[in-house]
Amino acid sequence: MLSNDVDQDADVFAALLLTAKGRIVAPLRVWRRSADDFLLLTEPELGDVVRSTLVRARFAAKCQIDSEEHTSTIVFGVAEGLPGELPGTIELLDGDLDATLDDEELERARIETLVPAWGKELDDSILPAEAGLDRTHISFTKGCYPGQEPIARLHYRGHANRQLRVLEVDAARQGDEVRFGEKVVGRVTSVVDGLALAYVRTEVPDAAEVDVAGQTARSRPRAS
């Protein structure tokens, strides 16, 4: 059912639950707690969706699916826990730590490292390749899963028409159009002071100057 290989060596890895058309049902982080015990971590509002989707597809005699609730704390630095979704972080489940970063600082770190968030960059209209998740959440060698055919077809025969970029911009709002010349080439999905994340057409050059709501913004070069 998942887009990534559960038999890989890593005990913690990213995956997706997809529709048959390759659209995102839920992003997941999978923790193999033992040989036959997997914890699927997702957003709180998606827990019931993930469980009901898996229950409909399970072989009852071979798989038990239960719900669990956990709190997650992101640690920048050294700690005992799971590898974090943000580069260089550790994720503690049900840890009792005081916050040292405010919400805007954490959001800035997420935007700068191009980590997409559910409800902002990710929803059921997004293709994984548009958000860069084909590089981290998908195995192209494992067996069948829902959405595999369109995902593989895009990977081997085509390319996404847009992708996430970091924009340097003084002020922007979620939903603002991004223009390159006279053409609308994207939309803003997340903002903090001085920075934004946006889906931008792939033909827009690296480090190009674009217009966001009448302001000049610069697209940061894409990682190779």
Domain boundaries in the chain? 12-157, 162-219
Instruction: Quote the tokens at residue 99.
Output: 């916050």
12-157 folds as Gyrase A; domain 2 (3.30.1360)
pLDDT surpasses 90 at 221: no
Q: How confident is the model at residue 6 (pLDDT cuts 50, 70, 90)?
A: confident
Q: Structure pTM?
A: 0.89
Pinpoint the alpha helices (H) of the chain.
47-57, 103-112, 148-157
What is the longest distance spanned by two Cα atoms in the chain?
60
Tens of pLDDT along 9-55? 889 999 999 999 999 999 999 999 998 899 999 999 999 999 999 98
Superfamily of domain 162-219: Aminomethyltransferase beta-barrel domains (2.40.30.110)
* Distance of alpha carbon 85 from alpha carbon 175, whole angstroms: 25
Write the DSSP string, 184-201. EEEEEEEEETTEEEEEEE
Phi then psi for 156, rounded to 5 degrees? -95, -25
Q: How confident is the model at residue 61 (pLDDT cuts 50, 70, 90)?
A: low
CA dihedral 33, 14, 58, 26 (to 10 degrees): 130
Tens of pLDDT along 136-183? 999 999 888 999 999 999 999 888 999 999 999 998 999 999 999 999
